[in-house]
Structure 1
Amino acid sequence: MNDLPLDGVTVLDLCIVLAGPTCGRTLAQYGANVIKVDPDFRPPQLTPWLDVGRGKQSIALNLGKPGGLDTFLTMAGKADVVLEGFRKGVADRLGIGYQTLKNLNPEIIYGSINCFGQEGPWQMRPGFEQNAQAATGIQLRNAGVSDPQQPQRPRPATFTLNDYGTGISAAYAVMLALLDREKTGRGQKIEAALSYTSATITGPYHVDYPGYSRRDLGGPGIRGTDSFNQLYECANDSWIFLSVSNSDELLALQSIPSFSNVDSHPSSHHLQDIFLTNTSTHWVSLLSSAGIPVAINKYASGLHREEGNRRRGIVVERTYGNIPNEEENIKGSRHWGDVTWPGNPVVMSECDLVEVEPPSFGGDTNAILKSFGISDSELANLRASDTIPNSLPKDLK
């Protein structure tokens, strides 16, 4: 296997919550040296840390304390990428805005990741996943039809599609900016926002043109788009999703005795009666063997139990805990045991995309700052002023 694509790229990640940290984690998965920068008074929540903290190093640095900003600017002057997740204007007030860092390091790639973007009437508003969903129609779409004449009670989507989608989109933009820098020598600013992502992933609902008659489906009672692309309950109280999308798949379905009398426009009730005669395992085996797309509905725990998913790396399990070293006095000490998380969604034939555990919060502070040229005496001064901590919370909550 060759080196990872982003080997040698240094990223300073100032982001919190999910979207920005997902960008940093994605870059780390492809080999970037991602350094998570947090003040010691803001330890992360454990569950997101185990997810979007993976592959990073962690330093505790308070930019508001004496020497904190200068230390960060020293790092930014040598870094390739800086990621921040503030509302417009906040980074400038902190002294780490794009123009400041560009003047310091003209080749810097600067990523701004927030809810509503850097322009427009909502640019100054804070926001999170559900705010972006509300602002772009997802929660009303999730409630039912999109006709304003038939109002519905909004229903939030319970998965964080915009957070993760925005983080991955931002990582994609950072990689494009790095590629552009290879050709031109220039850095640039990239912007990503949860509301932009939300509008993009609901693209079909935004398409319109003269004469177009909408037939949008949605709501808690929707089981599919038509009888051939729908959820069906089986005899063992589990569900499958059937997808018959062309004439070849219809012929394959009709070749199975149970479906021999199914025409090209069957009622969903007819198909439901058939599926209730046997188990989901039976139907998936039978239909898959005939080349018909079908899948059993599973809980995440079921996905975790399948050995094939572990071999492929769809799910990864590691023993995670804080390993003692020379900085143990500022590291948490709890051993968390076997932790499961999702793996990398892609495979590269010439690159071994190894999943790496998340760091201990603040546990790389000394080593990282020294690697950027911060001397022992400067480190002592930073500790004396609480700019970097002498101790950290023992456990992440």
Structure 2
Amino acid sequence: MAERSTALQSLKVLDLTRVRAGPTCCRVLADFGADVVKIEAPVGADPSAGVSGARHGYDMLNLHRNKRSLTLNLKAPEGRALFLRMVESADVVVENFRPDVKDRLGIAYDDLAKVNPRIILASISGFGQDGPYAKRAGFDQIAQGMGGLMGVTGNPDEGPMRAGAAVADSSSGLYAAIGILVALQERSQSGMGQWVQSSLLEAQIAMMDFQAARYLVEGEVPKSSGNDHPYVTPMGVVATKDGYLNLGVGSDPQWQAFCELVGQPDWATDEKYATNPARFERRPELWDLLKPIFAERTTAQWVAALEEVGVPAGPIYMMDEVFADPQVQHLGMAAPVHHPARGETRLVAQPVKLSRTPASVYVSAPDAGEHSDAILAEVGVTPDEIAALRAQNII
């Protein structure tokens, strides 16, 4: 079993999140050793509570590893009082309810700051904490559409296409984690907590990066270009003898080396192809010339040959091929962990490496309420009080 990271071991986090964005944020903190207490409703107390698939399914295991679990009914006055008691000794609270829910529950930032001025509340929403869309339900695909990602994804003649991963959910969780770490650093100077906010819509727009800046700075509205790069050619997907290849000829010197490799040195000086603007202008024509050439060799042969001349290229993997790749194995992106019901399994590792205090996956996701007694005892709740709370379905 891996050892718990020591990087954030002094940090106590109360995790009220569900589905994906919020759990992604808390997973970062947990993987670096924070004591993350996942707070969820007792059975029947919150029919609308969302989970990520089956309790022992892949998504729950991956999102909620390294956490402890407490069941607590926040809708009951006794449950709210217990939560605020925990806030007194906590560092961070993370929630991704609709913005008005925490106000109704009496656990908004001002409520938390009254009992602990050092508390940091991180709120992740669909569209922001205020404004005309604040109360709308937010889902990843909706944010992908409104944030511009779907408008530039897919083939030009086929309409918008969603990305195959939850880009808005995951990035909003990561941005919230960054905000928490910034707030913690600032707290070390001021002694005060603050309210950290992120949303799926803001995160998706930020992830558009150069495409968004292209519009803001130049006034250009980017369009979808399929697998081709928006302005560099040839950079995209090409069929090989046995599959597909990502080709990335990113500069004119790389183009010159590429032309030598494919036996067409004249292309390097031909004014039609010598510069990227010229190649971009003749993109369809150029791909028509390249397709029969790439069909002559396998993907592996092309990757090796292109690497030899310094031209970026790579295979296009299915997920089983991803984790079979020797570089992925070297990077340790499949983290082993034991689960009481599923036995030995693997989860997706943190992609951030620290030399002294690395992240680790040291324990699997908890069952609901698995640690309730221990967590409540830590804030002074007696065994008799715990039994009474359980009898009332408060925990």
CA contact (8 A) 2:7 2:358 kept: no
In the TM superposition, what whole-angstrom CA distance separates every residue of 1:199-245 from its partner, at most 9, and x where no partner exists? 111133333679946373415x4444443211111001x11111111
One-letter code of the match for 1:369? Answer: L
Query: Which residue is 2:201 aligned to?
Result: 195
Match of 2:165 among 159, 169, 176: 159
Query: Is 1:384 paired with 2:384?
Result: no
Query: Is 1:363 paired with 2:365?
Result: no
- Secondary structure at the residue paired with 1:67? helix
Query: Is 1:306 paired with 2:299?
Result: no
- Secondary structure at the residue paired with 2:342? strand
1:213–1:274: structure 2 CA closer, same or farther, 3 Å change rule? farther
Deviation at 1:307, TM superposition (A): 4.6
Query: Which residue is 1:107 aligned to?
Result: 118
CA contact (8 A) 1:253 1:292 kept: yes
1:128–1:180: structure 2 CA closer, same or farther, 3 Å change rule? same
Deviation at 1:5, TM superposition (A): 2.7
In the TM superposition, what whole-angstrom CA distance separates every residue of 1:237-278 from its partner, at most 9, and x where no partner exists? x11111111233223323425454443348111122111001
Query: Which residue is 1:170 aligned to?
Result: 176
Indicate the larger mover: 366-375 or 260-269. Answer: 260-269
Query: Is 1:242 paired with 2:247?
Result: yes
Taking the aligned partners of 1:157 and 1:59, their CA distance within structure 2 comes to: 34
Query: Is 1:339 paired with 2:350?
Result: no
Indicate the larger mover: 203-212 or 189-198. Answer: 203-212
Residue correspondence of structure 1 range 1-397 to structure 2 within 5 A: 4-41=6-43, 42=49, 44=51, 45=53, 46-65=57-76, 67-142=78-153, 153-207=159-213, 212=218, 214=220, 216-218=222-224, 221-225=226-230, 226-236=232-242, 238-256=243-261, 258-263=263-268, 264=274, 265=279, 267-321=286-340, 335-356=341-362, 357-388=364-395
CA contact (8 A) 1:65 1:385 kept: no
Deviation at 1:386, TM superposition (A): 1.3
Deviation at 1:288, TM superposition (A): 1.1
The gaps in structure 2 that reach 5 residues or longer are 44-48, 269-273, 280-284
The gaps in structure 1 that reach 5 residues or longer are 322-334, 389-397
TM-score between the two structures when normalised by the length of structure 2: 0.86
CA contact (8 A) 1:66 1:382 kept: no
One-letter code of the match for 1:7? Answer: Q
1:2–1:354: structure 2 CA closer, same or farther, 3 Å change rule? closer
CA contact (8 A) 1:144 1:217 kept: no
TM-score between the two structures when normalised by the length of structure 1: 0.86
Taking the aligned partners of 1:309 and 1:204, their CA distance within structure 2 comes to: 28
Deviation at 1:143, TM superposition (A): 5.1
CA contact (8 A) 2:227 2:237 kept: no
Q: Whose helix fraction is larger, Structure 1's or Structure 2's?
A: 2
1:2–1:23: structure 2 CA closer, same or farther, 3 Å change rule? closer
One-letter code of the match for 1:249? Answer: Q
Taking the aligned partners of 1:29 and 1:250, their CA distance within structure 2 comes to: 43
1:200–1:65: structure 2 CA closer, same or farther, 3 Å change rule? same
1:208–1:124: structure 2 CA closer, same or farther, 3 Å change rule? same
CA contact (8 A) 1:91 1:97 kept: yes
CA contact (8 A) 1:109 1:177 kept: yes
One-letter code of the match for 1:301? Answer: D
CA contact (8 A) 2:65 2:366 kept: yes
Deviation at 1:189, TM superposition (A): 0.3
CA contact (8 A) 1:139 1:157 kept: yes
One-letter code of the match for 1:372? Answer: V
Taking the aligned partners of 2:219 and 2:119, their CA distance within structure 1 comes to: 47
1:249–1:154: structure 2 CA closer, same or farther, 3 Å change rule? closer
Taking the aligned partners of 1:353 and 1:254, their CA distance within structure 2 comes to: 44
